[in-house]
Amino acid sequence: MTRNFLASAAVLALFAGQVAAQDLKFAPGEDARFNWASFDSFKANHDLKGQTLKIDGPWGGVDKALFETVIAYFEAATGADVDYSGGDGFEQRVMIDVEAGSPPGIAVIPQPGLAADLAKRGKLTPLKPEIGTFLQENYAAGQSWVDLSTYPGADGTKALYGLFYKVDVKSLVWYSPENFEDAGYEVPQTMEDLKALSEQIVADGGTPWCIGLGSGGATGWPATDWVEDMMLRVNTPQDYDAWVSNDLKFDDPKVVAAIEEFGAFARNDAWVAGGAGGVASTDFRDAPKGLFASPPTCYMHRQASFIPSFFPEGTVVGEDADFFYFPAYAGKELGQPVLGAGTVFVVTQDSPAAQAFIDFLTTPIAHEIWMAQSGFLTPNKAVNTEVYGDPTLKKMGDILLNATTFRFDGSDLMPGAIGAGAFWTGMVDYSGGKDAAAVASDIQKTWDTLK
């Protein structure tokens, strides 16, 4: 009887192992591109059988399914059971759960400001100091990531509370390789080259840029990305941080200079399709279509990695359209800054499983599994970039890995009344002809009224 029971148990265990293996998107050890050694090492050092972990975050739909393929490797390595319940309404949901005393073990937060708020309320557990060391040593522009996830706690003491995972790049310029080839243009490597190319396109009878700020009730936001990119190209990262926190006032000459750098493109009738007067009224989704007109109504469009969703149907990125890094000034010696966004993992209810999952995110395999599929970029220098699922992602990943500074979308870090209010409307006013200093002053006056 005992022998039969043990035999049956062995069969069940074997079957369970086969099911677990089948749940993994890529079989461990079979594809040499993956860093399976990092998976094996993590597995050897973590036994969490019988433990559960709840994770909540913003990812629903396709991204939820992709993240769950990553979670499967953590479960296979540790024996833990993970429940991810992400999707729309996450920001409100996590605040309700935290205040009710029933938070998830880990929250995946797309806005560092929300993470900072939770830390200030004493609702987050600081990460181990080793995580900060890991970020500095293994992430491109490592100190940037430490800074972005270091916040004051309830007692005012600053600590590292988060680890960024899955990043988006905004510092991109889109163009048609065929148009460039036909005109004899080369991809510019510096901001000086980019402005010279713009002048050359005008001299050749063309229009260099398509720019659109229209977005319904959110009209103006594309200009905030332009200004943020320019802040990083004419000022130091420290100035950028001070600006976002309002320690450097919006009407400071440094900020006004960045706004005027945007104006050099958007308020130049010869440089922008439809003239400067059409910038604010052109929908951001329609703006890049000028790249594909015949003849083209523009040659370049600055926008984030998501914009191909609004290209004409059938457009093949890498062939019909491509992109290059929105370059920095060679003469200002501010390195290669990259503007973007991303998600930060924080511990909202401490447990061995929660701490282990943070550790898991430091392994190359935790990044490579999603990299090999779609919609994922990482600043982790330890990954094999040949794993990327398509050449477009790999090229964006290379831009991220070459960054000397990474900064989060500034408007997302500002108070909502500024970053999703006065900044938007101010940029519409500026695009319409209002003086940059007056626009900046108006935005600062609004900020001064906030408590």
Instruction: Read off the pLDDT of residues 136-172 as tens digits, 9 standing for 90 and up.
Output: 999 999 999 999 999 999 999 999 999 999 999 999 9
d(CA 126, CA 282): 45
Three-state SS at 411:
helix
d(CA 13, CA 121): 45
Three-state SS at 205:
coil
pLDDT of residue 407 exceeding 70, the answer is yes
Q: Which residues pair with 165 in a beta bridge?
A: 343
Which fold does the domain 30-169+341-408 belong to in CATH? D-Maltodextrin-Binding Protein; domain 2 (3.40.190)
Q: How far is CA 76 from CA 22, 42, 258, 268, 355, in A?
A: 11, 11, 49, 57, 17
Q: Is the Cβ–Cβ distance between 438 and 263 less than 8 Å?
A: no
Annotate 138-203 with DSSP letters as a single string: HBTTHHHHHHHTEEE-TTS-EEE-EEEEEEEE--EEEE-HHHHHHHT----SSHHHHHHHHHHHHH
Mean pLDDT, residues 223-238? 98
Mean pLDDT, residues 386-396? 95
The pLDDT confidence band at residue 17, using thresholds 50, 70 and 90, is very low
Q: Is the Cβ–Cβ distance between 292 and 311 less than 8 Å?
A: yes
Q: Which of 29, 34, 1 is nearest to 387 (CA)?
A: 34
pLDDT of 10: 37
d(CA 417, CA 407): 21
Percent of the chain with pLDDT over 90: 94
d(CA 215, CA 213): 6
Say if 30-169+341-408 and 172-338+413-448 have the same CATH topology.
Answer: yes
Mean pLDDT, residues 86-99? 94
Average confidence score pLDDT of the chain: 94
**Strands 337-347 and 106-109, bridge-based pairing:** antiparallel
> What are the residue boundaries of the structural domains of the chain, listed by start?
30-169+341-408, 172-338+413-448
Mean pLDDT, residues 248-261? 98
Mean pLDDT, residues 398-423? 96
Q: Is the Cβ–Cβ distance between 313 and 223 less than 8 Å?
A: no
pLDDT of residue 2 exceeding 50, the answer is no
pLDDT of 451: 73
pLDDT of 23: 84
pLDDT of residue 390 exceeding 60, the answer is yes
Three-state SS at 80:
coil
Q: In this structure, which long-range contacts are made by residues 288-292, counting pairs with CB atoms below 8 Å and at least 24 apart in sequence?
A: 288/174, 288/210, 289/210, 290/207, 290/210, 291/174, 291/175, 291/176, 291/179, 291/210, 291/321, 292/176, 292/320, 292/321
Mean pLDDT, residues 35-62? 97
pLDDT of 8: 36
Burial class (CB in 10 A: 0-12, 13-18, 19+), 119: buried
Q: Is the Cβ–Cβ distance between 348 and 105 less than 8 Å?
A: yes
d(CA 252, CA 233): 16
Instruction: Read off the pLDDT of residues 65-84 as tens digits, 9 standing for 90 and up.
Output: 999 999 999 999 999 999 99
Q: Tokens standing for 104?
A: 């998830």
Q: What is the CATH number of domain 172-338+413-448?
A: 3.40.190.10
Q: Which of 226, 228, 225, 220 is nearest to 281 (CA)?
A: 220
d(CA 75, CA 30): 19
Q: How far is CA 346 from CA 57, 92, 217, 229, in A?
A: 10, 16, 31, 27
pLDDT of 1: 35
Mean pLDDT, residues 356-378? 97
Instruction: Read off the pLDDT of residues 26-44 as tens digits, 9 standing for 90 and up.
Output: 999 999 999 999 999 999 9
Instruction: Read off the pLDDT of residues 421-447 as tens digits, 9 standing for 90 and up.
Output: 999 999 999 999 999 999 999 999 999
**Torsion (CA) 174, 180, 185, 187 in degrees, nearest 10:** 30
Identify the helix (H) or strand (E) that includes residue 83.
Answer: strand 81-84
**Strands 52-56 and 106-109, bridge-based pairing:** parallel
The pLDDT confidence band at residue 399, using thresholds 50, 70 and 90, is very high
Percent of the chain with pLDDT over 70: 95
Separation of CA 131 from chain center = 20
